[in-house]
Amino acid sequence: MATPPQSTKDTLTQRLHAHARHRWPALTQLEVRFRGGFAYLSAHLPDATTQNLCRLRYTGSAHQWGFAIWLASTDSYQDSLLPSGYPTGTAEEALDCACGLYLTDPTAWAPD
């Protein structure tokens, strides 16, 4: 599995933080961690809890990422489809999908 270059990691983090500030202002912080070819997203919530959201898999492109949702029931990530029906998409789509689920906001899946 390919590992994203540092420039892609930096750009992804910046894009996700900007999108979270705009679309998910209820988050106090979005944490983006990298390990190998994966980026792990977690949300810090106003009640001081941290919610794992999803895992992004680097596909060799800074614009298309594989998507796996966090499942608390199994304490693991499960490869999943985005609302578009595809297993890959933008990092922003993945963030919206996971936040829509965990922050109980189904408008996240509405087409623009």
**How do 50-58 and 29-35 pair as beta strands?**
unpaired
Mean pLDDT of the 87-104 span: 94
Average pLDDT, the chain: 93
Spatial distance between the Cα atoms of 24 and 35, rounded to a whole number of angstroms: 25
Spatial distance between the Cα atoms of 90 and 95, rounded to a whole number of angstroms: 9
- What are the domain boundaries of the chain? 6-109
pLDDT confidence bin for 104, thresholds 50/70/90: confident
pLDDT at position 55 is 98
Spatial distance between the Cα atoms of 7 and 15, rounded to a whole number of angstroms: 12
pTM listed for this prediction: 0.93
Closest CA to 91 of 62, 51, 60, 53: 62
- Render pLDDT for 35-90 as a digit per residue (tens, 0 to 9): 999 999 999 999 999 999 999 999 999 999 999 999 999 999 999 999 999 999 99
Whether the per-residue pLDDT at 103 is higher than 80: the answer is yes
pLDDT confidence bin for 96, thresholds 50/70/90: very high
